[in-house]
Structure 1
Amino acid sequence: MYAGVLLFLACPFFAAAWLPGEHKQIFARSGVDLFNRSSLHEHGLIERSLPSIGNTVKVRGVNLGSYFVVENWMASTVFSSLDCDSQSEFDCVSSLQDQAKADKDFQGHWESWLTADDFKKMASYGLNTVRIPVGYWFLESLVDSSEHFPRGGEKYLDQAVQWAKDAGLYVIIELHGAPGAQATDAFTGQLNPSPGFYDNYNYDRACKWLEWMTNKAHTHPAYINTVGMIGLVNEPVRIGDSRYPNAQAQTDSMRSQYYPRAWTTIRNKEAALSISKDGQLHIQMMDKKWNSGDPNEFLPDRTFWHAAYDDHQYVKYTDAKVSHQGYLDFSCKDDRSGNWPVIVGEWSLSVNSDVEHNSDWDPNNDANKDFYRKWFAAQIMAYEKGQAIGWCFWSWSTSGLNDPRWDYQKGIDAGIILKNIDDAYTIGACS
């Protein structure tokens, strides 16, 4: 175990939970531990750590958006290639009216969206983590006859985790699409007119999914020592959002009923598998900044949490002054402290929708690239300080969108994302 910035041993609430490089080392197939500075130096590889944090690095990751939960806005060519004019997977499969065809078509997407080389490339860019959004329908026994989703995805999820393992990447798997839909957005896999997740029937289905995923994390060869964190639900309704007049009751229900049940489900499964406390998974919930209430309020076993928190920060939707300097100033002063430890699990370089297509904000215009590089750096520094232990950019790949502000690979190629992440601390973004 390495001494590191998280100082888990000084905090009894988190003493036996594990994060990469802190309590377990995540090794590439070559034997290189990409979370350890000494190992990196020994093999002449990119150093993924900050000067002040000893032998341990921050979480620096990327999302695999639209790999297993396709969103049309960022992957329009996927649905168009399937001949379904849809916004969500449920709608696409329903419109095809042929389950076997839908299964085959989506399997074609899963086979082509990413390859093993993508994960090697992530590591070469200094990334050490992948966050994988998954829908509940990947456990096909949970899907009701009235629900329409593609089948056969589990083996591709297993393959993706194996590729991450081979590249030495830490994996966060989160329930992105919950049973009944936790919000009225296509990221849930369906466009329900109102969120249907917040009842005992769907909590029960979600807990079965979590038990299944916990078992895989501790028994499947690709997952062991690779998957270290499970997210209970992505972006539930927010108190104060005008789309959700019942948000207070829904979030109260989620925190008082679902979170404790989910917590107990995961820990009971680990106990049944004889997993020691040192080997237990981190359980991730939305940070209190998300405004769904205090995630800890009803948790059991409050003296031994093994908890982590998910914070999403899309500056384009904030009150930041809409100018290059305004965005830099906002991110340089941004403080993501809230619950601890928190990972900024989603963020991007996208800007206010009113100006995103203006020439002054064009990411392919050489005159703007210095701004985007500095803004990338400013966000990196904000998400690696205080109670924030790192970040996962949204997203690794897009199709049809053609905007490098949402696409890590395109951002590298466009010169607006730093190929060496540590340069964020030396280019003077906040000076």
Structure 2
Amino acid sequence: MKRFIKGLKSDLNSYADTSHASVNTAPTQSFLLQYRKHRGVNLGSWFVLERWITESPYREAEAPAQSDLDVAKGRNAKGILEKHWDSWIGVHDWNRLVSLGINSVRIPIGYYHACGADRTILDGTDFFPFYHVYEGAWRRITNAILDAHRRNITVLIDLHAAPGKQNNDAHSGTSDRANFFNDPHNQRRGTYALESIARSLTTFINSFDPPLDNVIGLQLLNEPHPPNDTILKSWYTTTINSLQSIAPSIPIYLGECWRPDVYTDYVTQELRTPNPNALVVLDHHLYRCFTPDDIRASVQDHVRALKDPSGIAQTFERIAERLGRSGGGVIVGEWSGGLNPGSLRGVPNERRDFVHAQLELYERTCGGWYFWTYKKEYPGDLGWSFTEMVEKGIFPSIVGLVRKRSPSDVDSQREGERRQAALDQARNAAYDAHREYWGRQPGNYDHQLFATGFEEGWKTNYRFFETLHPQGGQVSEAGYRHALAFRATSNHGQSYWEFEHGFLQACSASRTDFQKTFC
């Protein structure tokens, strides 16, 4: 075994790929923030309003009083909206998120919220007459990015409302029917809107020295509802290619229309972009309270389905692996504790069990998650209000690891020796189990790749543990693990899976080691 370890260490550099923006090439803070595990909430109804979340901004809205456009057409819209923007999320909210372990927020916006940076974004759209209403929104959005940055919270900007509406819901900007996919003009305006937002984000980020690093993605469309996949894929490709020429360092997030395999095929087989190393992430939304099947099922049925290894867990694991082998990943960008009343059986802790089953699934299989929604204007919703669910013990009081001491607090030489010994022990045990199992299976193998991957995975996760130190002692850890494994080596041949297996097992083993030692 000593000879094996010596040979393994001498071979590590031959497997490291220094051509990628990988963890082997002194990853930047921005890279680590983009690839860490995102544990987040949606700041719903801050900019794109939803009446069931915040009622008061609709008090002067024009009938039917369901959408942003209805509010904009009403009396005193500018004053009502600016008061709401300035009061809905404040310093106490940001600090509370940190205390609960939340390290990321998804901010839904409409294209019209960016008109303060580019007035022409409204040209040829329903919101053209309302520049004066929305001109102050962009300043609030950039202030939110800065407030988040001060607390090491990352921000995913989500285009929730596109020109002409990409779905039929009122939270897509207007109360009319969706007309984004039926009108090429709206599609062009949608691409332009995202180009404009990307330019404005880049300008804002680079106005600081050093530049801000906490904008971890731009989501092109929230819950698109195209008449067919071809039209959406075509628009995605056109828009992504344009965005990568404008802001190549900002990851792209894509709604997958609740067809994860179809859009995994698109990302891995069809999408060709100018920047092959760009991070492209699929965003899946998971709710269990709307369909007839969901309504008929008890909460206990839902929990069992979430824990079933052959159910949604298998889907997430499959697409995470496939996307990761193209350098991408998957998140659950919206989920909740919402249940139809008929699903509740009055069993103690049934709401908590439902939430915890989801958390366990997303933590294990996805690059991150964003709960919908952070809070509601009026109390009493224990399925959708994150703040109330935490207060009632339905949602954990803190997510992720919390360190009690830092690696920097201990003697570096002793910690280096301890960590190397722990790595050697964990790697050797995993290697022996891997070799024993596959030794019983026919085929040609390269088991040293497993050991090499294990070492890379361990070191990678420790880079996240050590490099990122949010306030409050929360620990950052690798999120898009399959993508990180893919970027850690240029050896993507027939036996790459062994490197990948080792890498993923090491991420889990290193987490256990860090938790035992520092948490």
Question: TM above 0.5, one fold?
Answer: yes
Q: Does 1:264 align with 2:248?
A: no
SS of the aligned residue for 1:161 comes to helix
Match of 2:385 among 403, 407, 412: 407
Shift of 1:217: 3.3
CA distance in 2, matches of 1:122, 1:146: 36
Distance 1:23 1:127, change over 3 A: farther
Give, in whole Å, the separation in 1 of the partners of 2:52 and 2:161.
16
The match for 1:416 is 394
2:111 to 136, 141, 161: 136
SS of equivalent residue, structure 2 residue 364: coil
Deviations 1:390-427 (A, max 9, x none): 1000011212363021111111112211112249xxxx
Question: Against the structure 1 CA distance between its residues 172 and 147, is the aligned structure 2 distance closer, same or farther, given a 3 Å change threshold?
Answer: same
Decide which structure has the larger Cα Rg and report it.
Answer: 2
- Please report how far the alpha carbon of residue 11 of structure 1 lies from its aligned counterpart in structure 2 after TM superposition: 11
1:315 alignment partner, one of 273, 277, 288: 288
CA distance in 2, matches of 1:11, 1:178: 42
1:97-155 Cα deviation digits (max 9, x unpaired): x5xx2112111110111102211111110111100111011232222476245412111
CA contact (8 A) 2:162 2:180 kept: no
Q: Residues 74 and 398 of structure 1 are in contact (CA less than 8 Å); yes or no, is this contact kept in structure 2?
A: yes
- Equivalent residues in 2 for 1:129-208 (5 A)? 129-140=104-115, 141-144=120-123, 147-148=126-127, 150-151=133-134, 152-208=136-192
Tell me how far 1:288 sits from its aligned partner. 6.5
> TM-score scaled to structure 2, two decimals?
0.61
Paired with 2:254 and 2:177, the residues of 1 have a C-alpha distance of: 24
- Partner SS state of residue 343, structure 1: strand
Residues 380-399 of structure 1: matches in 2 within 5 Å?
Answer: 380-386=359-365, 388-399=366-377
Counterparts of 1:49-88 in structure 2 under 5 Å? 58-80=37-59, 86-88=65-67
Alpha carbons 2:382, 2:389 under 8 Å: kept:
yes
Tell me, what secondary structure is at the counterpart of 1:331?
Answer: helix
Q: Distance in 1 between matches of 2:57 and 2:173?
A: 14
Structure 2 letter corresponding to 1:89: D
CA distance in 1 between counterparts of 2:61 and 2:184 reads: 35
**Cross-structure match for 1:344:** 332
2:29: which partner in 1? Answer: 25
Q: Is the aligned partner of 1:252 residue 2:227? A: no
Counterpart of 2:83 (choices 108, 111, 123) is 108
Give the whole-Å Cα distance in 2 for the aligned partners of 1:11 and 1:290: 35
Whole-angstrom distance in 2 between the partners of 1:17 and 1:343: 20
Percent identity of equivalent pairs:
26
CA distance in structure 1 between the partners assigned to 2:330 and 2:254 by the alignment: 9
Deviations 1:224-253 (A, max 9, x none): 201011111110116xxxxxxxx12xx311
Segments of 4+ moved more than 4 angstroms: 81-85
Partner Cα distance (1:202, 1:316) in 2: 32
Distance, in Å, in 2 between the alignment partners of 1:293 and 1:212 is 29
Query: Among 296, 299, 320, which residue is 2:271 paired with?
Result: 299
> Unpaired runs of 5+ in structure 2?
1-14, 324-328, 402-519
Shift of 1:384: 2.0
Q: Secondary structure at the match of 2:289?
A: helix
> Residue 89 of structure 1 contacts residue 190 of structure 1 at CA under 8 Å; is this kept in 2?
yes
Q: TM-score, normalised by structure 1?
A: 0.73
Residues 1:15 and 1:131: Cα distance change in structure 2 (over 3 Å): farther
